[in-house]
Amino acid sequence: MVKNSSGQVLVFYVASFIVLCLFWFAVVNAGKVLKDRILVQNAADNSALSAAVMRSRALNVLGKLNGVLGLSGFGVHVPGAGFCVGGDSWVWWIEPPRRSPGFHTYHRMARLARSSINKVILLQESIVPTYGGGTTFLVSRNIARRQEINAGGKECGADGFVPMDSLSLNLKRNKGDVLYFKTSELYVPPTPVSPEVWVWPIPYPYERSKNAKRWLEQKRESFHKQRIRVIAYKSRDSVSNRGYPFAGKFFKMDRWVDIKCIAAASSYNNSGYMFPQERDASFMTAFFEYWKSKNPGWKAHLVPVGKWTKH
């Protein structure tokens, strides 16, 4: 008697189909996790680098303005010979000569000097909070979110990012008395019995600004190397995770995974600090610190977080 085995092939086909389906489900879910892991790591890298780039750009601009404040003949000089007595800064913009008979005092340039210096300081103070906090955070967060855009044009990258280090520019304002000087001129025209007498320029006190704002100083050690670490994350409840895990009911799985990635970037200046230190009291330090550090200036790049296990 011959045994009928034709039904065994059908069972084999069904079993093979189920195994292949299970393998396919696993590949789809694993591929989604791997893709999101790469996406979130890219989001962390780009967010950290963007924050470092914005810090570097802000420091380059602020350093140039700081150099102007320390420039001889313009601004609020760092304490030094000829510009400071007892910690007070001297500002003297010399008036052009008039050669008008008599003793005359002109204060137009003194008012202009005070106004110009205050406007430079005001410009600096508008940059510091903007690039040392809110704007940098918003830009970096938007970059993290725009790592992926779906067919509908909606952002579905990382849900957000968390800075682990302060976004501050690590600068503080130096304060002290500022003495503004006007210009006096003495002119006596020549006569048949006396020679011409002309004395110009003569500094004459115009105004003392008590505890006035002056230049920016660095307020941390290793100022020329500033690292920013960030964590980018994608929540299991993110809109782009709807429908996952794929075939979850079949496996009795109803929850997806949270993904978090860390990255670090550094703002650095290999030429120097660009800003004076609090203890500096040398001649025109604010100007010289900028001059020696302006090329190549502040730059930014990605750096290791610290441990390879964190990546």
Give the integer Cα–Cα distance in Å for 220 and 208: 31
Query: Tell me, what's the pLDDT at 290?
Result: 81
Tell me the pLDDT tens digit for each residue of 7-46.
566 777 777 777 777 777 778 788 888 888 999 999 999 9
> Whose structure tokens read 């389906």?
21
Per-residue pLDDT band at 6 (split at 50, 70, 90): low
Name the average pLDDT for the chain: 82
Reading the block at residue 30, the tokens are: 């694993």
Residue 232 pLDDT > 60: yes
Phi, psi of 248 (to 5 degrees): -65, -35
Does residue 308 have a pLDDT over 60?
A: no
DSSP 308: G
Strand partners, 18: none
pTM value?
0.81
Q: How many Cβ atoms are within 10 Å of 102's Cβ, its own excluded?
A: 9
Tokens at 17, concatenated: 């189909």
- CA 276 to chain CA mean position, Å: 18
CA separation for the pair 144, 70 (Å, rounded): 39
Cα angle vertex 74, ends 84, 99, to 5°? 100
Contact 218, 171 (CB under 8 A): yes
Q: Which of 216, 208, 180, 166 has the alpha carbon at shortest distance from 65? A: 216
Tokens of 130: 């903007």
Report the alpha-carbon distance of residue 101 to residue 219 in Å, rounded: 52
